[in-house]
């Protein structure tokens, strides 16, 4: 999820620029190879960035090379790799979340505001440029100090400057502080500019949602829910139906992730309500991909609720929602979204199969997982590939429990081994522990 537009006179968050890389790309690649060669041969005992080995740096360099939408800022992004990784590491985000958060920071960097377009006096503009240069030189704290001083000196631009502080804190992976600045910017604006206030609240809620999601902090998710609900009051359905629908979807995401961590079902039920409200404006005819995204999210919420219950209605509704999503999330049009939804569809079918004790439904779940792996390949998205492999292993375990057919044990072991190899390679400790538990369940079943 990207940061929203902080104002028409400030920056365009939602636009993306794609350019083709030819000779320049080769030149930059050459510089990177030269840089890596010397990095191998220099002593860097006083450089904190030396904590990152060459394999890690090369991985993120390759990631930047492959993103066409980052081409316009490719050279600067390459120079920012270690700054971003150090920022993520500094704030203790789990290793398995680094790549996803790195992509979000890079997206925000590429879509950075055009300071020349700011409607502010030249003195403020000069301070903003200096802050930008200071940040890109690897000094986010100094950049924030400059903006803080500018904010105090120029009260009429306080909201804009406070939001800019939020922007740099976001890029520094200090998400709670970024949210604080964005919320303060919204408070400064108040109702004098509801569109601008909505944008600031959106950014604050988005930052807290990411923080709560990646670090497992429920209080951050609760705060994000409160901010999404507040943002809805600034963008009513009657005047801005698209923003309203998108905010309902985001509210649903926060409610869903909070609800999945709780023993009760209220937040899951609230998430389902939010997604269904979103679908009143995100229609298949008007916004097919947004409709498909929200149907998939609705399926996730229904599945989570169904797992709390003894019946099958919500599980069957989840299966229906995933099938609807796949009408627009096609392999040709959106291959990775299609694969993710196939994986979710398979998981819903497997859960329903276990509830109904139905081997044929288990086999349909495996078919969905197999389809998912056509795009969720090990080379392309290794962790997602491993998760689907683990899901297949769990399904084979449950099929063995139901049928007592020994070949299912061997198939489950094979899938678990595939997944474990990738989890350990990625240093994904949480996934490793979860998989160990599933492997123990398999061996317990096999020994009976």
Instruction: Please write the tens of the pLDDT for every residue from 81-133.
Output: 999 999 999 999 999 899 999 999 999 999 888 888 887 778 888 888 999 99
Instruction: Return the DSSP state at 9.
Output: T
Alpha helix positions (H), 119-157:
122-136, 140-153
Residue 358, phi-psi category: left (phi > 0), alpha (psi -120 to 50), beta (remainder): beta
Residue 414 lies in a domain: yes
- Domain hosting 446: range is 332-448
Instruction: Please write the tens of the pLDDT for every residue from 319-351.
Output: 999 999 999 999 999 999 999 999 999 999 999
For residues 5-25, average pLDDT: 36
Residue 337 lies in a domain: yes
Residue 352 lies in a domain: yes
Residue 420 lies in a domain: yes
CB contact set of 305 (below 8 Å; sequence gap of 6+): 265, 268, 269, 272, 314
pTM of the model: 0.78
Residue 345 lies in a domain: yes
Phi, psi angles (nearest 5°) of residue 8: -65, -25
Instruction: Please write the tens of the pLDDT for every residue from 65-89.
Output: 988 889 889 999 999 999 999 999 9
Residue 438 lies in a domain: yes
3: its two tokens: 């940061």
Beta carbons of 398 and 354 less than 8 angstroms apart: yes
362: its two tokens: 């288990």
**Dist. CA 68–CA 61, nearest whole Å:** 13
Residue 347 lies in a domain: yes
- Domains contained in the chain, number: 1
Residue 351 lies in a domain: yes
In the predicted structure, residue 405 carries a pLDDT above the cut 60: yes
Instruction: Return the DSSP state at 7.
Output: B
Report the b/e string of 32-41 with b at 16+ CB within 10 A: beeeeeeeee
Instruction: For the chain, give the percent of residues with pLDDT over 70.
Output: 88
């Amino acid at each position: 999820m990207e940061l929203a537009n902080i104002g028409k006179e400030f920056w365009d968050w939602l636009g993306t620029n794609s350019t083709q890389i030819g000779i320049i790309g080769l030149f930059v690649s050459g510089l990177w190879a030269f840089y890596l060669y010397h990095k191998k041969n220099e002593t860097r005992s006083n450089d904190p960035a030396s904590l990152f080995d060459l394999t890690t740096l090369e991985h993120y360099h390759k990631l930047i090379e492959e993103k066409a939408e980052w081409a316009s800022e490719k050279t600067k992004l390459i120079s920012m790799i270690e700054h971003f990784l150090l920022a993520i590491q500094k704030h203790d985000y789990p290793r398995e979340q680094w790549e996803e958060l790195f992509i979000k920071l890079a997206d925000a960097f590429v879509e950075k505001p055009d300071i020349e377009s700011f409607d502010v006096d030249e003195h403020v503009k000069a301070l903003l440029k200096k802050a930008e240069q200071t940040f890109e030189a690897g000094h986010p704290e100094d950049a924030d100090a400059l903006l803080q001083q500018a904010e105090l000196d120029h009260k009429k631009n306080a909201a804009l400057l406070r939001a800019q502080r939020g922007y740099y804190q976001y890029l520094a992976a200090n998400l709670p502080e970024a949210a604080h600045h964005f919320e303060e910017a919204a408070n400064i604006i108040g109702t004098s500019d509801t569109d601008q206030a909505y944008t600031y609240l959106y950014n604050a809620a988005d930052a807290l949602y990411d923080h709560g999601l990646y670090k497992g902090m429920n209080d951050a998710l609760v705060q994000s829910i409160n901010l999404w609900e507040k943002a809805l009051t600034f963008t009513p359905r009657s005047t801005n139906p698209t923003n309203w629908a998108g905010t309902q979807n985001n509210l649903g995401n926060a409610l869903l992730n909070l609800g999945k961590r709780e023993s009760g079902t209220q937040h899951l039920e609230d998430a389902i309500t939010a997604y269904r409200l979103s679908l009143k404006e995100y229609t298949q005819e008007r916004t097919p991909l947004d409709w498909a995204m929200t149907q998939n999210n609705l399926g996730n919420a229904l599945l989570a609720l169904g797992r709390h219950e003894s019946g099958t209605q919500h599980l069957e509704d989840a299966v229906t929602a995933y099938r609807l999503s796949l009408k627009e999330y096609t392999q040709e049009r959106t291959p990775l979204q299609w694969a993710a939804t196939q994986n979710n569809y398979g998981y819903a079918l497997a859960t329903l199969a276990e509830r109904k004790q139905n081997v044929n439904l288990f086999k349909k779940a495996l078919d969905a997982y197999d389809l998912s792996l056509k795009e969720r390949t090990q080379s392309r998205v290794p962790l997602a590939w491993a998760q689907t492999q683990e899901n297949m292993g769990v399904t084979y375990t449950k099929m063995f429990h139901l049928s007592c057919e020994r070949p299912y044990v061997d198939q489950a072991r094979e899938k678990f081994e595939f997944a474990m190899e990738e989890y350990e390679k990625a240093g994904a400790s949480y996934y490793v522990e979860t998989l160990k538990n599933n492997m123990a369940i398999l061996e317990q079943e096999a020994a009976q």
